[in-house]
Amino acid sequence: MREAPPESGRNHDALEAALVKMIVCMKQVPMVSELPWDRKTGLLKREAAEGMMNPACKSALEAALRIKEGHGGHITAITMGPPMAAEILHEALSMGADRCLLVSDPRMAGADTMATSAVLARAIETFCSDFDLVLCGCHTSDSETAQVGPQMGEELGISSIASVDDLKLTGRRLRVERVSDHFLETLEMDLPGLVTVTTAHYTPRYIPMAGLQDAFREPSILTAGAHDLGMDEAELGLEGSPTRILEVFSSTAGKQNVVLAGTPRKIVEELFERFDDAIGSVIRKDLKAVK
């Protein structure tokens, strides 16, 4: 997969080759708590929500920026999403990413983690095949599956370590720390590799508003669709996803949702009259009023 540097401009390329070429995969997630769903398809109507960069992805970018500051490096931020997801790429630029790629195609909508990881891996192979390190957020706030990162590692055929709190690069050897099932683990692997990063140690740097505005003026975002990645329908979106959503329903269905109002004293009395068992059985006390 590694390409030899081209003959021309040797000095420049030698310098480039010493840089750590990093890719940070990020996702835009909704900021609001109540999101409209399409009841028919069971999919999120993402276009209706205001978005932000997923917190763990931001930590992954912060980790990459620190490697860049320490070793010299080049960072490409990649996201797959609707055109609006370009917002987080602008934010990534203002934080210090060097280049951005938006992978966007209406046919990619409805992708599960299998299809998403396939698309992202293909984007990396197509646009930055000479990467050293891929960093992803360990999970997203809107779906929490934590699957895309490890699956991308498989797709790219490189070694990977999930949920790392801390990373340190020495030459081409990466040492990471993580807490895994009550064990504090120190692990090492050679580059190229992939890690997913937690929010534990990498608090993202603050970007002043002006920096963000500048980033929006820069036209340095590449866009690619399925065609550019040489992918066909069968690998994309719903088609490429082995899972199917049968139904989406509110998790509060089944809640009694009894509304009590009035003076606090009256409310509390009524609460105990009606629900003394629900509370009393848990605290193992009889809460019946003495008459």
Touching another protein, residues 81-140 (CB under 8 A): 112-114, 117
According to CB under 8 A, which one of 11, 171, 184, 210 is a site residue for another protein?
A: 184
Contact 110, 81 (CB under 8 A): no
| Closer residue to another protein (CB): 70 or 249 | 249
Helix (H, G, I), strand (E, B), or coil: what is residue 102? strand
Phi, psi for residue 53 in degrees, rounded to 5: -75, 130
- Count of residues of this chain found to bind another protein when the rule CB under 8 A is applied: 83
Q: Left if phi > 0, otherwise alpha if psi is -120 to 50, otherwise beta: which for 198? A: beta
Distance between CA 141 and CA 277 in Å, rounded?
36
Distance between CA 167 and CA 198 in Å, rounded?
11
**Rounded to the nearest whole angstrom, what is the least distance from the CB of residue 240 to another protein in the complex?**
10
Cis peptide before 208 (omega within 30 of 0): no
| Closer residue to another protein (CB): 44 or 102 | 44
Distance between CA 234 and CA 239 in Å, rounded?
5
**Rounded to the nearest whole angstrom, what is the least distance from the CB of residue 289 to another protein in the complex?**
6
| Closer residue to another protein (CB): 4 or 246 | 246
* By the rule CB under 8 A, 241 interacts with another protein: yes
**Rounded to the nearest whole angstrom, what is the least distance from the CB of residue 140 to another protein in the complex?**
10
Residues of this chain, 134-173, that bind another protein according to CB under 8 A: 141-148, 150-151, 153-155, 159-163
Q: Which of 79, 66, 75, 99 is nearest to 25 (CA)?
A: 79
Q: What angle do CA 106, 45, 93 make, to 5 degrees?
A: 65
| Closer residue to another protein (CB): 4 or 283 | 283
Residue 113 CB coordination number (10 Å): 19
According to CB under 8 A, which one of 41, 186, 203, 220 is a site residue for another protein?
A: 186
* By the rule CB under 8 A, 271 interacts with another protein: yes
* By the rule CB under 8 A, 255 interacts with another protein: yes
Q: Which of 40, 49, 24, 212 is nearest to 136 (CA)?
A: 24
Q: Which stretch binds another protein (CB under 8 A): 76-84, 174-182, 208-216, 227-235?
A: 174-182
| Closer residue to another protein (CB): 8 or 183 | 183
Residues of this chain, 23-62, that bind another protein according to CB under 8 A: 32-35, 37, 42, 44, 55
* By the rule CB under 8 A, 12 interacts with another protein: no
Task: For residue 29, give the DSSP letter.
Answer: E
| Closer residue to another protein (CB): 10 or 285 | 285
* By the rule CB under 8 A, 19 interacts with another protein: no
Tokens standing for residue 190: 């050679």
| Closer residue to another protein (CB): 18 or 249 | 249
| Closer residue to another protein (CB): 1 or 15 | 1
Contact 85, 49 (CB under 8 A): no
Residues of this chain, 195-234, that bind another protein according to CB under 8 A: 199
Q: What angle do CA 254, 257, 258 make, to 5 degrees?
A: 135
